[in-house]
Amino acid sequence: MAEFYAVLISGLLIGMLFGIILQRGRFCMNSAFRDIILLKEYKLIKSVALALLTCMAGFGIMGLAGWVTWNPKPLFAYGSIIGGFVFGLGMVLAAGCASGTTYRVGEGMMGSLVALVGLAIGAFTTKSGALSGVTTALQSVSTGGITVFGDLTPLFCLIIGVIGLVVTFYFWVFKEIKAKREKFFDFSNLGENIFKKGWSWYSTGYLIGIINIIAWPLSAAAGRNYPLGITAGWIGNLKYLVTGDVAALSWISWLVLGVIVGALIASLIAGEFKLRTPKEGKTILLQFLGGFIMGFGAVVASGCNVGNLLSGIPQLSVGSIVSSVGIVLGCWFLAFLLFREKDD
């Protein structure tokens, strides 16, 4: 029993580290995708790319060494693209992706808390409630978990990851540091740089990739053979609150709670914690609706932006790639419509 709880606590600790990184790096995939078309800003999407490449290299090593067993998400003929697209719509309305919404609760943002409640309810309802029939229908045609290169996928992940990291380091990171005449390793005022100042996009990307690599074997040791995720954790937590079933509190349930705790600690130390409530009731309603839609889309697509994009793409899962394309398209579609409406 002690060993069981020790394994679950590892989920809490990984979640706390993940939450700290998200908060200090202001990392949100909704912002990353939206900023491309609205602001022509690419730093966050570069951070996402570095995280993916880091994961690919790490996953490849662990897969080839036999430390983890490859576990790609299933490809659904309808569910993957539809669920992803709906999730993308939802994160625009919620003003944050699943991970971004979760960590912002730790900063005191009540709108994000409302969105998170919506996500949990939407996911729970779609997984095992009134909308479960829709899920069954949209997931009725599936090829199972397939990868781009089959049994050779771990090797290709390692190759792509290493080459990608070298190329992006030179053209993105090294050139930016050189242009700004900064130090790559600056140990002066270390405490202030870590706890007070915002982290660079490249440091954030690398660290998210590293924490995801560490998370996979720890999660597998707890009986969940998969890297980081978000939505499944909130489904488990809500199930526990509704039914009282302690078994619902798995490794991933502890992880998502840890994300909030980590973000809370980081924001308090940085002096950035503040209880903030949206001024208009309409905004609160939209964030709840966005969260609910995200929960629906995540279950239908068998993963959110973390489960599919951050953890699935580095495994070269075809299902995750299709779902992630849907997420990006959904985000761009609604962000463009809302931006055009405000611009007019």
pLDDT at 133: 97
- The 10s digit of each residue's pLDDT in 282-320 is 999 999 999 999 999 999 999 999 999 999 999 999 999
pLDDT digits over 107-155, tens only? 999 999 999 999 999 999 999 999 999 999 999 999 999 999 999 999 9
Check residue 4 and give its pLDDT: 62
Mean pLDDT of 183-198: 74
The predicted model gives 98-103 an average pLDDT of 98
Residue 236 confidence (pLDDT) above 80: yes
- Predicted local distance difference test score (pLDDT) of residue 239: 96
Average pLDDT over residues 52-61: 99
What's the CA angle centered on 9, arms 24 and 233, to 5 degrees?
Answer: 70
Percent of the chain having pLDDT more than 90?
86
Q: What is the pLDDT of residue 196?
A: 81
Given a cut of 80, is residue 225 above it in pLDDT?
yes
Residue 193: per-residue pLDDT: 77
Q: How confident is the model at residue 3 (pLDDT cuts 50, 70, 90)?
A: low
> What local confidence, expressed as pLDDT, does residue 100 receive?
97
Range 87-115 average pLDDT: 98
Q: What is the pTM of this model?
A: 0.94
Average pLDDT, the chain: 94
At residue 204, does pLDDT exceed 70? yes
Q: Work out the average pLDDT over 227-246.
A: 95
The whole-number pLDDT of residue 179 equals: 84
Residue 341 has what pLDDT? 57
Average pLDDT score over residue span 161-178:
95
Residue 327 in this model has a pLDDT that exceeds 90: yes
Query: Is the pLDDT at 344 greater than 60, yes or no?
Result: no
Instruction: Scan for tokens 């290169």, then name that residue.
Output: 149
Indicate the range of 64-68, 167-171, 181-185, 235-239 predicted with least confidence.
181-185
